[in-house]
Amino acid sequence: MKKININDVIIKPLITEKNSKLTADNNTYVLEVHPDATREDVKRAVEYIFARSNAKVKKVNITKVKRKPKKMGKYEGFKKGFKKAYVILSDGIIPIYGSEGVEKAKKDNKKGLKIIDTEKLMKEAEKNIK
């Protein structure tokens, strides 16, 4: 087993509708992690990197996503496989896209994420350009 730098354990957050719902309802974050990372590595990395937001890890589950065949015209290949971790926090947050809406929803005792009015934002952007 080779040693992994604590900053290299977490590759990126996986942001999908399903993962956003998990974050809002169960305080569970889904992260893509290093292929050699263990549960303890992920726990230490999350608590170290997100120490400012008081993130305390309750539980970590890890799964491997297998590579899948992909065709593009006459070419064939594979989408890469990766390892992902489901991190359940007992305290604090991981400040990724949408976390502010999750915290506000928790305070208001509402489920779901903050809804952004894109039409309003586009109109404001057009006013700023002119």
> In percent, how much of the chain has pLDDT > 90?
48
What angle (nearest 5°) sits at the alpha carbon of residue 99, between those of residues 98 and 101?
70
Asked whether the predicted pLDDT for residue 11 surpasses 90, the reply is: yes
Looking at residue 95, its pLDDT comes to 82
Q: Tell whether pTM > 0.85.
A: no
Closest of 40, 37, 25, 51 to residue 84, by C-alpha:
37
Q: Give the list of residues 6+ apart from residue 11 with CB closer than 8 angstroms, or none.
A: 31, 32, 33, 34, 82
The per-residue pLDDT for range 64-97, each reduced to its tens digit, is 999 999 999 999 999 999 999 999 999 888 887 5
> CB of 20 within 8 A of CB of 113?
yes
> In percent, how much of the chain has pLDDT > 70?
75
End-to-end CA distance of the chain: 58
Domains of the chain, first to last: 6-129 (3.30.70.330)
Average of per-residue pLDDT across 41-63: 91
State the pLDDT confidence band at 35, using cuts at 50, 70 and 90: very high
The letter for the amino acid at 22 is L
